[in-house]
Amino acid sequence: MNMAANMNLENQMLLHDLKSPVQALCALIESAMDSLDREQIKLFNKAKSRASELLTTRKKKLSDFHVEDAINEVISEKQNRLKDIQIKLPKGNHFLSVERKEFQRVLSNIIDNSIDAIENKGGISIKTNLHKNHLNIHIRDTGKGIDDLTLMRILKTGGSFGKAHGSGLGLMHAKKSMNQWGGKLEIDSLQGHGTVVSLSFPLRKAPKNGGL
């Protein structure tokens, strides 16, 4: 069983283990409803609804998805920002078993950084390849790049570069998500020449039915 499959199993076990105590807490509070005021009941119902949603939808988010299709969806949402930027999209038939929406959020933040780094005209290329039982995704831009000291700080503590109001939260989210998925995020940049962000995931082979 590969690392991605192990993570799926662990997530499912966690959901199963959480279900019983959450149900017990809900039953306890419901038995004391008469002592709660209107705002407390409203708060409880919202919390109960949210907990139920999380417990019942988390598994669905872990379904296999086609990586290149997910990337193309992200790019299509950014067409209004890509007027003077050439985009090269990946070709391949690769699958992952992580949260699709979270994967797209990670990718979207990285691409936004690339767009912001290109001051006038330029290009962004996205490539996928397999290497040593990992699926690698490389996002390369022809932007202004990052100097060595700033890059070290970003990789160590997070932060942003070249943005007037950048918080660096997008990169921190990307690093956290990659760690949760058993993957790795690396940044290679040369000031004045551009940046390459590489995402490495445990290999997921295409399912026999051709994917979801």
Residues 51 and 70 in one domain: no
Domain shared by 102 and 164, yes or no: yes
Same domain, 88 and 177: yes
122 and 21 together in one domain? no
Residues 54 and 158 placed together within one structural domain of the fold: no
- What is the number of structural domains in the chain? 2
Spell out the residues 6+ positions from residue 12 whose beta carbon is closer than 8 angstroms to its own. 59
| Residue 126, H or E segment | strand 122-131
Task: Give the largest CA-CA distance in the chain.
Answer: 67
Of 61, 88, 106, which one is at a domain's C-terminal end?
Answer: 61
Query: Which of 151, 125, 145, 149 has its CA nearest to residue 137?
Result: 125
Distance, in Å, from the CA atom of 188 to the CA atom of 198, rounded to the nearest integer, reads 8
**pLDDT (tens place) for every residue of the chain, 212 residues total:** 455 555 555 555 566 566 666 776 777 778 877 888 888 888 778 777 777 766 665 554 566 899 999 999 999 888 878 878 889 988 888 999 898 989 999 999 999 989 989 988 899 999 999 988 899 999 999 999 988 888 888 777 655 555 544 445 678 888 888 998 999 999 999 988 999 999 999 875 555 554 44
Tell me the CA distances in angstroms from 59 to 22, 41, 70, one per residue in order: 17, 29, 18
Q: Domain limits at 41?
A: 3-61
Give dist(CA 38, CA 42) in Å, integer: 6
